[in-house]
Amino acid sequence: LLTRRDTIVVASVSCIFGLGSPSAYSQKVLTITRGSEIQRRDFFLSLNSMQYQRSEIEWKRGVYRARGDTIDIWPAYERFAVRVELFGDEIDRIELINPTSGELLAEEHQFFLFPAVHYVMPEDQLEAALTGIREELDARVLELRSQGKLLEAQRLLARTKYDLEMIAEVGFCSGIENYSRFMDGRQPGERPFTLLDYFDYAPPDPSRVAQGGESDRKAHGHDAAMRSRCDDRDHEEDHRRYGIERANLGDWLMIIDESHVTIPQIRAMYNGDRARKTVLVEHGFRLPSALDNRPLRFEEFESMAPLTLFLSATPGPYELELCGGEVVEQIIRPTGLVDPTIEVKPARGQVADLVERCRERAARGERVLVTALTKRLCEDLTNYLDRQGLRVRYLHSEIDTLERVEILTELREGAFDILVGVNLLREGLDLPEVSLVCILDADKEGYLRSATSLIQQMGRAARNANAHVVMYADEMTPSMQVAIEETERRRAKQLAYNAEHGITPTTVQKSIRRGIESELKARKKARAAVESSEPAIDAELLIAELEADMREAAEALEFEKAARVRDQITRVRELIAQHAQTDQSGPLMLRKSEIEGKTRRTGQKRRLRR
């Protein structure tokens, strides 16, 4: 991104979180050129300053190793490794290799190696940053002690001093982003650098510069307009402090997919992050400057966004207002597929009707999606359909992300016919085998039954030529009316196009690809094998062992690990209490791995047992 213009970056909403300064990051770029001379020791020192670790045993991203005149480097951001071969002090060859097999992938004349972490800074600025952290630490510890919070003061002192020693010795520490304000030289409250800033530091368009476009843009006030739009930063001050000019200011395109969901997420991220970190600061886990390691506020995000394209089947009021009427609809599908037909049925007797419709679709080899209002209803309905002899599973937020992928893949493969969900059966699901969507209690007005939600749920069947939607409701709500009218409008356009061009709708043919879910199954088998071979011990002895682990983690300042172990202890005590209420004699015997797994999977799906 910092070296070429033809770059596409796919990011989540995390792109508005703080990153290191683009100038400090770019200054640490190491250029490796064939034929140039290097000093071996200086080369290793450069790699160390970029936070690459030397290891002759463990080979992973962010590591380098040296064997004779050959130096292998695995960039922290690449799937391939780089092999640099020396002839004396001269770089003889630069090769891109497979890090596992060592297979040669390509030969390069020049390679740009970027730092392994985002928070890197020149050594001459490091001492100033450490001084600033120490000053804030002293002031905060005095404040906590004056409030009688001696434990919090001691916790903060121990943790921060350890971090300071790590930064001073190796230039990095775990959680260094919480000191980003000092690393970047920012003022309290000043917005952090984010991924969006890096686009402004990309190389300018060479055609404009060559044609004198830069002077033309300035003559027409382009730069002034962009500077006024691209946040309230003092760009001249940025240039003075960081030494890099935003040569590509505002000359890039941002595309926001599923904008009706993404925009509200961006609005909410600042307050959520602030609330979480305020608790950490109050309890002495972090300095107050950690609050400046934050996502952008929504108004800051707005001011930074250059040309923006919103993509959504159901755009929200914000996008429509901002676009000022510039809306482009892509309704016509080349496959001729039309939006599903819609049927409204009474809510009374909806489950019995649902069973019959599911049996009909399953007999035809098609799949069914059912949406309920609550997770409890979702699970109860799944159990009922299972007792009716239907092959059914459920999907909701308490199921791990990786398991969701596995469930959706098995639905497409035909391992089961019906999937019951709450709010996850919406955007982003591409399931051509699904021909029927049933929406229970569609007249219960609210977020889950808003016009946007209903249209998105209906759209899950739009990849199948036999698409149909059943809405169970006792009355027609405004949201239902809007959703039905919008779907019928789109359907009418596609039908007219099909009739004009003689197109017969055909179901989308999409291959089923196995990805990370295969690895997930392998891990489950390995975990099950370990658990089966581990001996069970008395629950009281297990509690003593877990308490020792918790204290050890707390002393090592690994508080998240300590909290997880604490939850495991709570779980064991609950099991002991349940065991005491039964008529079973003898102590309760448990496996440690079993408790760890149960705690890790708390709230996850409970599989149906046939």
* Same domain for 104 and 197: no
**Which of 215-229, 233-247, 366-380 is predicted least confidently?**
215-229
Residue where one domain finishes, among candidates 113, 138, 173: 113
Rounded-to-integer distance, Cα 391 and Cα 415, Å? 8
Q: Supply the CATH number for residue 54's domain.
A: 3.30.2060.10
Give the burial string for 221-245 (b: 16+ CB within 10 Å, else e): ebbeebbeebbebebeebeeebebe
Q: How high is the mean pLDDT of the chain? A: 83
Tell whether the model's pLDDT for residue 610 goes beyond 50. Answer: no
**Does 38 share its domain with 162?**
no
Dist CA 183 CA 132 (whole Å) = 10
Query: Does a structural domain hold residue 374?
Result: yes
φ/ψ of 63, rounded to 5, equals -125, 150
Q: What is the mean pLDDT of residues 542-568?
A: 87
Q: Is residue 55 part of a domain?
A: yes
- Do 132 and 219 sit in the same domain of this protein? yes
Could you give the CA distance from residue 381 to residue 351 in angstroms, rounded to a whole number?
A: 8
The HSE-up count of residue 141 (CA atoms within 13 Å, CB side) is 15
Residue 318 lies in a domain: no
Q: pLDDT of 176-198, one tens digit each?
A: 889 988 888 888 988 888 888 88
In 3-state terms, what secondary structure has residue 97?
strand
For residue 518, tell me if it sits in a domain.
no
Asked if residues 399 and 517 have their Cβ atoms less than 8 Å apart, the reply is no
Is residue 50 assigned to a domain? Answer: yes
Q: What's the rounded mean pLDDT across residues 20-39? A: 82
Q: Structural domain of residue 468, as residue ranges?
A: 341-501
Judgement on whether residues 131 and 216 belong to the same structural domain of the protein = yes
- Measured from the Cβ of residue 81, the count of other Cβ atoms closer than 10 Å reads 22
pLDDT band at 518 (very low <50, low <70, confident <90, very high): low
Q: Which of 265-274, 432-441, 510-519, 595-604 has the lowest mean pLDDT?
A: 595-604
Q: Answer whether 406's CB lies under 8 Å from 515's CB.
A: no
Same domain, 39 and 179: no
Report helix, strand and coil shares of the chain as percent, to nearest 5.
50, 15, 40
Q: Which pairs count as long-range contacts for 295-302, CB under 8 Å and 24+ apart, including other chains?
A: 295/16, 295/17, 295/18, 295/194, 295/269, 295/270, 296/16, 296/191, 296/192, 296/194, 296/196, 296/266, 296/270, 297/191, 297/270, 298/266, 298/267, 298/270, 300/191, 300/231, 301/16, 301/196, 301/266
Mean pLDDT of 354-381: 92
Alpha carbons 481 and 446: distance in angstroms, whole number:
14
pLDDT for residue 517: 57
Residue 57 burial by CB count (10 A; 0-12/13-18/19+): exposed, middle or buried? exposed
Write the single-letter amino acid at 377: L
Render pLDDT for 556-583 as a digit per residue (tens, 0 to 9): 878 888 888 898 898 888 888 888 877 6
Separation between Cα atoms, residue 46 and residue 64, nearest integer Å: 12
φ, ψ at 370 (rounded to 5°): -125, 130
Query: Is residue 316 one of the residues assigned to a domain?
Result: no
Residue whose tokens read 């300590």: 562
pLDDT grade for 527, boundaries at 50, 70 and 90: low
Nearest to 365 by CA among 408, 419, 418: 418
Instruction: For residues 164 and 296, state if they share a domain.
Output: yes
Q: Same domain for 102 and 127? A: no
Residue 395 near residue 424 (C-beta atoms within 8 A): yes
pTM for this prediction? 0.71
Residue 128 sits in the same domain as residue 276:
yes
Q: Which two tokens stand for residue 238?
A: 């940025």
Number of structural domains the chain divides into: 4
Q: What percent of the chain has pLDDT over 90?
A: 37
What confidence tier does 251 reach under pLDDT thresholds 50, 70, 90? confident
In a domain, 365, yes or no: yes
> Quick one: 280 and 391 in the same domain?
no
Axis crossing angle, helix 516-533 with helix 592-600, rounded to the nearest 10: 150
Judge if 266 and 395 occupy the same domain: no
pLDDT-above-70 percentage for the chain: 87
Q: 175 in a domain, yes or no?
A: yes
More confident residue, 226 or 104: 104
Residue 177 to residue 186: CA distance in whole angstroms: 13
Same domain, 466 and 372: yes
Chosen domain end from 501, 521, 550? 501
> Do 557 and 489 have their domain in common?
no
**pLDDT tier at 427 (50, 70, 90 boundaries)?**
confident
